């Protein structure tokens, strides 16, 4: 299909498509004439991936580039792809590394029995996030962390179960799915909070006989 047809098929303007081509986010089409190239289903899929990561995943184009570089890299062993893409996503977030909190995060992960490689960038990241929580609102004690980790294990098990086969497509699904479903999980958490708040408020109203407001 022509560039204009790729635009119609994906709902992305030709100006944006040309930008993706210039930035090598999108592979060039097959040249047909001096001014025209032919695009195929792989281009449609790649454009949809870019838009999904930007629109729904909330990633910047710089972050999209990192994910795509990881996906396209032939030197990354397949079983490491998920980790590499995760690190690429994380790199964009700035945080102040704190040795004490990194050690605390590492100790927690070890106590859970999680197999995480030494020096994983996620460990100082987790440490910095826990430090921010402790500094600001005294949340994130051991009991809370354990409940969060329980929830994370449920989600991660589900994540890996949705990987049918172990081909690159499945891993791509896992990466994109993780970015997009982070948002779903945030929304579900807020809905579940509202549900629980409503329950607790009703219970309080019932017990103190407050009839209005």
For the CB of residue 165, give the shortest distance to a second copy in the complex, in Å.
12
187 contacts a second copy (rule: CB under 8 A): yes
Q: Name the one range near a second copy by CB under 8 A: 15-23, 35-43, 63-71, 168-176.
A: 168-176
Interface with a second copy (CB under 8 A), residue from 151, 167, 207, 208: 151
CA dihedral 77→46→55→10, nearest 10 degrees, is: -170
Q: Name the one range near a second copy by CB under 8 A: 2-10, 14-22, 28-36, 143-151.
A: 143-151
55 contacts a second copy (rule: CB under 8 A): yes
Dmax over CA atoms of the chain, in Å, equals 80
140 contacts a second copy (rule: CB under 8 A): yes
Reference 176, options 15, 54, 62, 17; nearest CA is 54
Backbone φ, ψ for residue 31 (5° rounding): -65, 130
- By CB under 8 A, the residues from 63 to 102 that bind a second copy are 77, 79, 82-83, 86, 90, 93
Q: Name the one range near a second copy by CB under 8 A: 2-10, 16-24, 67-75, 132-140.
A: 132-140
199 contacts a second copy (rule: CB under 8 A): yes
Helix segments in the chain, DSSP class H: 3-10, 14-22, 41-51, 61-72, 81-91, 99-111, 122-137, 142-161, 168-208
Reference 109, options 124, 93, 95; nearest CA is 124
Reference 177, options 155, 152, 147; nearest CA is 155
137 contacts a second copy (rule: CB under 8 A): yes
13 contacts a second copy (rule: CB under 8 A): no
Interface with a second copy (CB under 8 A), residue from 167, 172, 203, 206: 172
Q: With respect to a second copy, which residue has the nearer C-beta, 72 or 96?
A: 96
- By CB under 8 A, the residues from 105 to 124 that bind a second copy are 109, 114-117, 120, 122-123
Q: How many CB atoms lie within 10 A of CB 88?
A: 20
Q: With respect to a second copy, which residue has the nearer C-beta, 32 or 114?
A: 114
Report the b/e string of 57-82 with b at 16+ CB within 10 A: bebeeebbbbbbebbeeeeeeeeebb
Interface with a second copy (CB under 8 A), residue from 4, 24, 168, 190: 190
Q: With respect to a second copy, which residue has the nearer C-beta, 36 or 169?
A: 169
């Amino acid at each position: 299909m022509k560039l204009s047809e790729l635009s119609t098929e994906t709902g992305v303007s030709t100006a944006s498509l040309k930008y993706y081509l210039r930035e090598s986010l999108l592979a060039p089409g097959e040249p047909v004439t001096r001014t025209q190239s032919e695009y195929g289903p792989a281009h449609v899929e790649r454009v949809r991936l870019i838009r999904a990561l930007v629109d729904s995943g909330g990633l910047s184009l710089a972050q999209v580039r990192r994910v795509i570089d990881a996906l396209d890299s032939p030197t990354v062993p397949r079983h490491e792809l998920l980790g590499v893409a995760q690190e690429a996503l994380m790199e964009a977030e700035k945080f102040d590394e704190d040795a004490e909190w990194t050690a605390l995060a590492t100790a927690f992960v070890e106590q859970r029995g999680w197999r995480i490689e030494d020096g994983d960038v996620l460990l100082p990241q987790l440490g910095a996030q826990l430090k921010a929580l402790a500094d600001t609102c005294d949340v994130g004690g051991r009991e809370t962390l354990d409940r969060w980790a329980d929830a994370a294990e449920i989600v991660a098990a589900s994540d890996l179960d949705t990987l049918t086969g172990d081909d690159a497509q499945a891993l791509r699904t896992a990466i994109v799915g993780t970015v997009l479903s982070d948002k779903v999980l945030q929304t579900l958490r807020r809905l579940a909070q509202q549900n629980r708040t409503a329950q607790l408020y009703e219970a309080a109203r019932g017990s103190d006989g407050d009839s209005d407001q």
